[in-house]
Structure 1
């Protein structure tokens, strides 16, 4: 990753910004940095809803004296939510402060308001498989001289406000952060994989899951859903509905009362508002339960009682009062084992693939659409070894599917899609690519419980060793998006795309029958000889003239064999049809009316012929320059930039066959192949491709109208050239 690189979809036009280069230039010029990619204007604040107050952008040195990035280090208490409804982000930022290695990964310590200050800062945020360095200037939205959004308890501390601005830039505006789920930000600050649990359907060992997650440096968050039937957001127990909290500690405590000793499961939580709105039940601040905990243990817990938004509660009360828990399991590259808590000696094994759902190509919808489901991308994951401590000899895996860049497209009206996945056991004898049939469907071993409109959906499974196929999809077909698929396992796993190899296959028999004479007609040979001259070769311009002539000849030559070598059988059928039509009209209206119709001015012959579907492949200026140049490059073995007649003859055979394929799949007669038929059309032309190659071809050469003839020829030229460069099959 280059420092300053912004994610390409964050704004659509963002350029690469190098933090060190920009800072050095600003220092040399004696200027403070002003970010052109995220200016101090209203468009960086909102895309739809205007702020209630008139805001002013100020630099920290204009807000207070002696601004600092950190005041006496950093802690979860530095995070105070502002006017923006991004409590989900605040909860994740508070969690981030508990993990030193992660914190300095996100907030680099090579910047300050003192040495080399130039009004520029940078933060690293994980985005869909890579760490992105986001560069910002330090102008912040204020109201009456105070920070309007995230702020610290210390007026002159700014790391939190600047991090929030970097996150807003990544998503296009501050308003884009309005409303979200904790796990989104936890993933962006760690690169981890999340699990989500609803309190209505918890596993029996849920506290153990929480405890192990905490011991393995996982990030934890929870929330209470809003109640539409009540005006007040605050519950009698002091908790806030529709609000997100950080889980900052999970532990057992020794409880000794009247000679009885128990271990009580407790959790420590924090409200990102950082005020007096705290839990007021058992184990809350100054509750009587704490007097039965040994003093040494209270000190070890760092127990304090103040209106700071942090509080303790029992696991039982936690389950009763909250609705949702989110766990972010850390990417194995996110931390070092030496920095983990005592007893943490393992990391997850991870496999990652990126993909796309493209309309009519690879966006097949969920399994409820069996006619198109097979079009979805597919991935084979092989699990060889069971978990070391598993009595059932099974393997633990967590499958995560994430849709990319949707939050940054909210201003375009593009929200989150409903996404999910299915998992199928692959029979030992089954070869790739997987063919969906009743046997495969019966081997479904797991699927997303619900297709949710969330950025990431994930599920934990216990599976027997073996090979499995994961099929990610949107709920409905033909919805386009990019995605990231990750598989975490305790033991090693191997994941590959479950798809075709790319190779030359047999030509479709129907095409063989449609392309008859392999020799160019005499007029074409004569034109080639005339243009080639003494050297016997034609360049791209002369090739274009020959091919354009051949197309026009098809219109002009209505008798005998035309320039493309096609016989007149079609013309004979047309004559028979016209005779039959005239006879029918004569019987209906009589000879006088028929003669009157025949006296009307007829259409020009060329106009009639051009309106016939089979002659609409090329429009305007004939064969485009890029097509002619690519065709020459495909056959130009001596790199002369021209073709001899032997090479031209080989091209002629290809073009006639490819043109026959095009006509076969231009089913509507509109001069274009529907994208949903592109894979079949390529196969008929003798080329088998995988989903990745198909997606690339459709993206580069398709349009809303499908694949035009010239672009179809380019596809085939690229395939023939590429496959001709190597003797191996590749995925």
Structure 2
């Protein structure tokens, strides 16, 4: 399944919230309406056609379905407005999820936090209460101040325990919501409390600090009013935070983006979003276990400049999401195992190479690599610059991803992609030597034998000359050069425009080719006559070409084989095409600008 790289700059305005790109992206209702009127057709959603494939992709529908168009009231009333019944609003939400994910069947499975993310565009966190950090109370307190959605639950060991009631009035396997957290003065000391709500509104906690427990008699009426103890909804109750950690097993937090909150909300996360891709052969390097390719993964620089209020460190959540896996399920795609590592950034800029990761340990990392849609973790690091490397666990696995950073204070992220740059040596104009070298004598003799007195050779003759020379070179294990390569060489070096190569032009090219051969041998680690496509970035840089991920992905797609290997003939073709392109660009560039304008004739 091919994945298209989406260049980070420039890019169109971001879609609001967690919206997904569709076939109709950017078209407003009126624009779609006018288009349908012009064509004389009723609107049909190209992303959610009225057919069985929109419902199931691996099985037949259990009953025949009749597809009906919504009535006028549905079109012109908000699906969340009061003119709709509750179940109708729920139907709209569910239908939107089906459309975005491709089918009803694609919605199978998932988690509470994934559903909350889908409906809010927020970032989820999951904590095992028994292993929660020491500042867990503070984390929950700040989450509720930011209007985050917080759920908690009790694990079950078998299906029999589902919805079973404990002696303390709690329901196993049931989703509770956390609605408040506070401290109360109790017998001269402060006690941490947490407020829980059971959506059923019937069964409640009956332990300490429950609605009618004796503990409330030792709390002043003003404190009780402040905590709204007497006005709690049915199913809502307070409990001691220490008891909460004993009886509950899991807490899920959905942190909302600033645009989902009211303007009056005092505490909001600072959010940055980065889109990227793992592409086989170029940027799908796998985790740190695979050092030879790990460094080729996308690298994102994270600038942490402001400390948390009253703290020495900076708090942030890094959430890595693999995109559209539900939609791709009908094509056989499964959730990939993903994660990330965070390194302290060196002083230099640019994509970090293999040696950096060989000798520098990570400062932080995701708790685990796991095959979930999103992996998110909370970190506290000193102010500074860091490099975040998002990866799949295994190399060569393709996917688009979205990396979101939620920080307490403003943080800045940037793609640590290379700027396209060319640093080639000046063209060689060798000074005629009174005496030819032994190598030149051999070439001249071969030229005279093939070309005749004019000392010019065509592509077929050049192919014979180069293959004859390379065959005799002991340290080179190459296959024969192709005729296409030799035609490209003549295109690069032919100054007279007659489609042939003079001996003087050949000598200049041979010096160039010897350097390219040495570069290739440097990255042909096993001396097999081919190099890994993951080494192409470094090899091209050694030849004077610094490319960004987008160009690198295109070149790898063009010149590597199915095993992500590049033979010398392809490497040579690549360098010739790059040099030709750079010459054309420099010839048409005005005042060394980074762009040129071409008319149809120049193209």
Please give the alpha-carbon distance, in whole angstroms, between the structure 1 residues aligned to 2:525 and 2:183. Answer: 73
- Between 1:313-322 and 1:290-299, the stretch displaced more is 290-299
- Say which SS state the counterpart of residue 196 (structure 2) adopts: strand
- Whether the 8 Å contact between 1:434 and 1:499 is mirrored in structure 2 is no
Note the 1:399-478 alignment, pairs <5 A.
399-426=318-345, 433-434=351-352, 443-478=361-396
> Structure 2 vs 1, CA of residues 649 and 69 (structure 1 numbering), >3 Å: closer, same or farther?
same
Q: Quick check: 1:282 aligned with 2:224?
A: no
Q: Quick check: 1:676 aligned with 2:601?
A: no
Alpha-carbon deviation of 1:177?
Answer: 1.1
Spell out, residue by residue over 1:121-169, the C-alpha distance to the aligned partner (whole angstroms, 9 max, x if none). Answer: xxxxxxxxxxxxxxxxxxxxxxxxxxxxxxx645xxx333223222212
Please give the alpha-carbon distance, in whole angstroms, between the structure 2 residues aligned to 1:153 and 1:172. Answer: 25
Aligned to 1:200: 130
Please give the alpha-carbon distance, in whole angstroms, between the structure 1 residues aligned to 2:49 and 2:321. Answer: 30
Aligned to 2:253: 327
Please give the alpha-carbon distance, in whole angstroms, between the structure 2 residues aligned to 1:528 and 1:329. Answer: 77
Please give the alpha-carbon distance, in whole angstroms, between the structure 1 residues aligned to 2:365 and 2:558. Answer: 33
Aligned to 2:288: 367
Please give the alpha-carbon distance, in whole angstroms, between the structure 2 residues aligned to 1:659 and 1:432. Answer: 23
Please give the alpha-carbon distance, in whole angstroms, between the structure 1 residues aligned to 2:331 and 2:351. Answer: 37
> Structure 2 vs 1, CA of residues 298 and 28 (structure 1 numbering), >3 Å: closer, same or farther?
farther
Aligned to 1:623: 484
Please give the alpha-carbon distance, in whole angstroms, between the structure 2 residues aligned to 1:44 and 1:433. Answer: 42
Aligned to 1:266: 195
Alpha-carbon deviation of 1:202?
Answer: 1.8
> Structure 2 vs 1, CA of residues 670 and 446 (structure 1 numbering), >3 Å: closer, same or farther?
closer
Aligned to 1:698: 556
- Say which SS state the counterpart of residue 359 (structure 1) adopts: coil
- Say which SS state the counterpart of residue 57 (structure 1) adopts: coil
Counterpart of 1:387 (choices 308, 333, 349) is 308
> Structure 2 vs 1, CA of residues 332 and 654 (structure 1 numbering), >3 Å: closer, same or farther?
farther
Aligned to 1:40: 50
Alpha-carbon deviation of 1:216?
Answer: 1.3
Alpha-carbon deviation of 1:44?
Answer: 1.1
Aligned to 1:182: 112
- Between 1:709-718 and 1:394-403, the stretch displaced more is 709-718
Note the 1:429-578 alignment, pairs <5 A.
433-434=351-352, 443-498=361-416, 502-504=420-422, 521=447, 546-548=458-460, 550-551=462-463, 554=464, 562=465, 564=466, 567=469, 570=472
Note the 1:562-641 alignment, pairs <5 A.
562=465, 564=466, 567=469, 570=472, 614-618=478-482, 622-623=483-484
Aligned to 1:219: 149
Aligned length: 549
Note the 1:699-718 alignment, pairs <5 A.
699-705=557-563, 706-707=565-566, 712=571, 715-717=574-576
Aligned to 1:131: none
- Whether the 8 Å contact between 1:614 and 1:669 is mirrored in structure 2 is no
Alpha-carbon deviation of 1:399?
Answer: 2.0
- Between 1:190-199 and 1:229-238, the stretch displaced more is 229-238
Larger Rg: 1
Alpha-carbon deviation of 1:266?
Answer: 0.6
- Whether the 8 Å contact between 1:366 and 1:475 is mirrored in structure 2 is yes
Aligned to 2:599: none
- Whether the 8 Å contact between 1:254 and 1:264 is mirrored in structure 2 is yes
Aligned to 2:103: 173
- Say which SS state the counterpart of residue 160 (structure 2) adopts: coil
Q: Quick check: 1:314 aligned with 2:222?
A: no
> Structure 2 vs 1, CA of residues 351 and 277 (structure 1 numbering), >3 Å: closer, same or farther?
closer
- Between 1:230-239 and 1:194-203, the stretch displaced more is 230-239
- Whether the 8 Å contact between 2:292 and 2:354 is mirrored in structure 1 is no
- Whether the 8 Å contact between 1:355 and 1:483 is mirrored in structure 2 is yes
Please give the alpha-carbon distance, in whole angstroms, between the structure 1 residues aligned to 2:378 and 2:418. Answer: 29
Please give the alpha-carbon distance, in whole angstroms, between the structure 1 residues aligned to 2:24 and 2:86. Answer: 35
Q: Quick check: 1:73 aligned with 2:82?
A: yes
- Say which SS state the counterpart of residue 676 (structure 1) adopts: helix
Cα RMSD of the aligned pairs, angstroms, is 5.4
Q: Quick check: 1:22 aligned with 2:32?
A: yes
Please give the alpha-carbon distance, in whole angstroms, between the structure 2 residues aligned to 1:57 and 1:657. Answer: 68
Alpha-carbon deviation of 1:38?
Answer: 1.9
Please give the alpha-carbon distance, in whole angstroms, between the structure 2 residues aligned to 1:568 and 1:713. Answer: 13
Alpha-carbon deviation of 1:331?
Answer: 3.1
Alpha-carbon deviation of 1:170?
Answer: 1.7
Q: Which structure 1 residue ranges, 5 or more long, are not aligned?
A: 79-151, 271-275, 508-512, 531-544, 555-561, 574-611
Which of 1 and 2 has higher RCO (CA within 8 Å, sep 6+)?
2
Q: Which structure 2 residue ranges, 5 or more long, are not aligned?
A: 1-11, 426-436, 596-603
Spell out, residue by residue over 1:340-389, the C-alpha distance to the aligned partner (whole angstroms, 9 max, x if none). Answer: 2xxx1x44334433333333433333233444433333333232332232
Alpha-carbon deviation of 1:644?
Answer: 9.6
